[in-house]
Structure 1
C-alpha cells in the first residue's frame, strides 16, 4: 500500500530521529512511503532521510512556517495514498481532515505523555477521526487513552528505539585521580520541557560547594532557550558547562561520556536516554514518563527526586567518587536495553501495528467495492 507520512517538521527531535527505522519496517512489508513535512525548521533530519533513501517533501517555502492545510491536502491528493500516517499535533489535525475528505484511514503517533492544554482539547474532540493511535511506550499509551478518551483497543504500542549492539561503548570512568575530568552530557531540544536550567544551577552549586571535583557538563541540542541558557552560564561565570549544539551522531556522543543526565519535566519514551544506556553510560533522570519504567533506581541509573540543584549535585558526586558504581550501573543499563529493544522484539511489535494498518486499508477497499455493487437508491 501507499503511505503518506505527515510530520510537523524535519527539526531533528525525538519524533524525527526514528523515521528511518519506522520507514524501514514499513518497506519490509512491501509498502511505499513518502514523508510530507509541514515545515523544515532546523532541518537536521533531512540528512537522515536522504541517507536512508526516503522520499520526502517539505511543503512550506519558509523554514519556520508551517504549510497550510490547503497545500498539505493538495500534496496528499497528488500522492494518492491508501493510508495517512501522522506525527505530532498539527500534522495529525491536517491528516485527520484529509482522511475525512479523501476517505482514507488515518493512523496517528503519540510521542509524549504531556500535551499542551489547547492541543489536548482539540485532539480530545477529534480523536475519532484517527482510526488507530500508536504510542511510543506503554506509559504514553495509557496517557493517550486517558487524555483523549480513546478506547484502549484503538491504542497500540510501537517502541521507537531499536538496540544496536555494534554501536560505540563508553570508556568507563576510573576516578578523579590524576586530574581526570568526569564528562557529563545530555541530549535534547533546548526547551522548557527538558528543564536544562536546573543543570546549570547544579553546576554552579558544585563549583561553589565542591570546587575540588572536576565535572564538565555538555548540553547537546538546539532550541529557543539556547540564548537564555548561554546568558545564564556567562552570568554565573561557569567554565564547567558547554552548549555544543545539535549532535548528528548521538551514539558517538554518548560513548564519549561518563554520565548522562535527563532532568525533564515530562517525557515519552526518551530516545536519547536509551542511546546513553546502550552505550553503557550510567544515568541520572527525573522519574517522569516512560523514564520511570526504563530506569531501575540504583541498578541502571539514579532517580533525581526531588529535582533540585542540591540533589543533582549530590548524585553527581556519588558517581564521581564511585567508579565501580558507574561501571556496574552502565553495564546493567546496556544489558537491559539490548535485551528489551533488540531488533526481533521491535520487529514483532511493528508487525502487529502494520498488520492493523493493512486491515484498515483492506476494510476501506472492501467497503468501497460493496458500495459500488449496491449504490444507494435515489429517492
Structure 2
C-alpha cells in the first residue's frame, strides 16, 4: 500500500518527533510511505527523517508559509497513493479534500486534548471526510469523540512513544552535599499551553525563600514566547535559569537531569515526559491529559496541583532534600514506561490501526460523501 503522510510542518514539535517511529511501523507492515510537509518552519525534524531514511518533500518555498491546497493536491496526485494519512488540522483539512478529489480513504491523527476553537469547529464539520481517526493515547481518543462528535468505534489509539531500554539513564541525585547543583529541566514548545512562565516565577520564589538550595532550571525548546521568557528571566535577575533552545537529542538531555517538570495547562501524550521517565528522572507534572495516566502521584512522580509557584517550590525542595525519594520515583517511572510502551505492545496497537486502514483501501474507488 502506498501512503502519503501529510503534516503541517517539520518544525520539531510533538507531532513531528514520533514520525520516524510511525513510519517504521508502517514499513514493518509492508507499506511504502512518502511524507509531505506543508511548510518547513524551523525544520528541526528533517534530521530525524533523514537519519531514518524517510523520503519527504517540503511543499512551500517559504519556510514560514504553508503550501496551498492546489500545490498539495498536485503533490499527492504525483505519488498516486492508495491511502492519505494526515497529522494536525491544516494537513487534515487538505487531506480530506484530496480524499474527495482522488477518491482515496483518509486516516487522521489527533495529538492533543485541546483544539483551538476554529480548528475544533472545522474538524467537527468535516470529521466524516476522515474514514478512520487515530489518537496518540486513550485520553485523546475520548477527547476526540467528545469534541469532534466522532463515534468512538472510529477512533483507534496508537501511542506515539515506544520505550527503548538501551537509551541513556540519568545519574540519581546524590543530595545537596559538597555544593552539588540539582539539574532541573523541561522540554517543549515555548507556547502558552506549556505554562513555562510558572517555572521562572518559581525559581524567583526559591531564591527569595530558600536561598540555601542550589537548583538550576533549563528550559529546552523553541517558540513564540522565547523573547518574553528571556526578558522575564533578565527582569528577575535569575542566574540559575537558562533557555537552551531546541534539543536534537532529547534522550541525552533527559539523562543529564536530576528532575523533570511539566506544568502544562493541557497535554496529549506528552512525549518529552515519557522520555524523561524512561531515563529514570523523577518528574513533577500537572495532572492533565495522558500525563495523569502514566504518572501515579507519590509513586512514579509528583502531581503539581494547584499549579502555583509556592506549591512547585515545595515539591522541588522535597526532591532536593530527599535523594532516596528521587531514586525511588525515578526507578518506578522508568519501569512504568518500559512495561507500558514496550515495542511488542506498541507494535500490536499500531498493527490494529494499520489493519483498519488497509481495509479502507478495498473500497477506495467509490464516490466519497
Larger Rg belongs to: 1
Provide the residue aligned with 1:44 in structure 2.
44
What's the counterpart of residue 2 of structure 1? 2
Q: Distance in 1 between matches of 2:135 and 2:309?
A: 32
RCO higher in structure (CA 8 A, sep ≥6): 2
Secondary structure at 1:363's aligned position in 2? coil
Q: Distance in 2 between matches of 1:79 and 1:95?
A: 14
Distance 1:29 1:178 in 2: 54
| 2:88 counterpart residue number | 88
Q: Which runs of 5+ in 2 are unaligned?
A: none
Q: By how many angstroms is 1:29 displaced?
A: 1.3
Please state whether the residue corresponding to 1:60 is helix, strand or coil: coil
Which residue is equivalent to 1:253? 253
Structure 2-normalised TM-score?
Answer: 0.99
Residue aligning to 2:107? 107
Pair 1:315 & 2:315 matched: yes
Aligned to 1:374: none
User: Superposition pairs for residues 17-28 of structure 1, below 5 Å?
Assistant: 17-28=17-28
Q: How many residues matched? A: 367
Residue of structure 1 in register with 2:154 after alignment = 154
Q: Structure 2 CA distance, aligned partners of 1:139 and 1:295? A: 14
TM-score (norm 1): 0.96
Q: How does 1:225-236 map to 2 (within 5 A)?
A: 225-236=225-236
Q: 1:141-191 CA distances to partner (integer Å, 9 max, x unpaired)?
A: 000000000011101100000000000001000100000000000000000
Deviation at 1:54, TM superposition (A): 0.5
SS in structure 2 at match of 1:178: helix
Q: Is 1:300 aligned to residue 320 of structure 2?
A: no
Matched residues in 1 for 2:184 and 2:221: separation?
14
Query: What is the CA-CA distance between 1:363 and the residue it aligns to?
Result: 2.5
Alignment match, 1:62: 62
Q: CA deviation at 1:362?
A: 1.6
Helix, strand or coil at the partner of 2:156: strand
- Give, in angstroms, the shift of residue 30 of structure 1: 1.1
1:192-234 C-alpha deviation (Å, 9 max, x unpaired): 0100000000000000100000000000000010010000000
Counterpart secondary structure, 1:150: coil
Once the two structures are superposed, what CA deviation does each residue of 1:18-48 show, in whole Å capped at 9, x if it has no partner? Answer: 0000000111111110000000000000011
Residue 31 (str. 1) matches residue 31 (str. 2): yes
Residue equivalent to 1:75: 75
Q: Deviations over 1:61-93 (max 9, x none)?
A: 000100000100010011110000000000000
Q: What is the CA distance between 1:364 and its match in structure 2?
A: 2.1
Secondary structure, counterpart of 2:260 in structure 1: strand
Matches within 5 A, 1:316-331: 316-331=316-331
Matches within 5 A, 1:279-294: 279-294=279-294
Using the alignment, how far apart are the partners of 1:69 and 1:363 within structure 2?
25
Q: Look up the SS of the partner of 1:244 in the other structure.
A: strand
Q: Which runs of 4+ in 1 moved over 4 A?
A: none
Q: Secondary structure at the match of 1:54?
A: coil
Distance 2:364 2:211 in 1: 66
Q: Whole-Å Cα distance in 2 between the matches of residues 337 and 292 of structure 1?
A: 13
RMSD: 0.7
TM-superposed CA distance for 1:5, in Å, is 0.3
Determine the C-alpha separation between the residues in 2 that align with 1:265 and 1:7.
24
Provide structure 1 residue ranges, at least 5 long, that are not aligned to the other structure.
Answer: 369-379
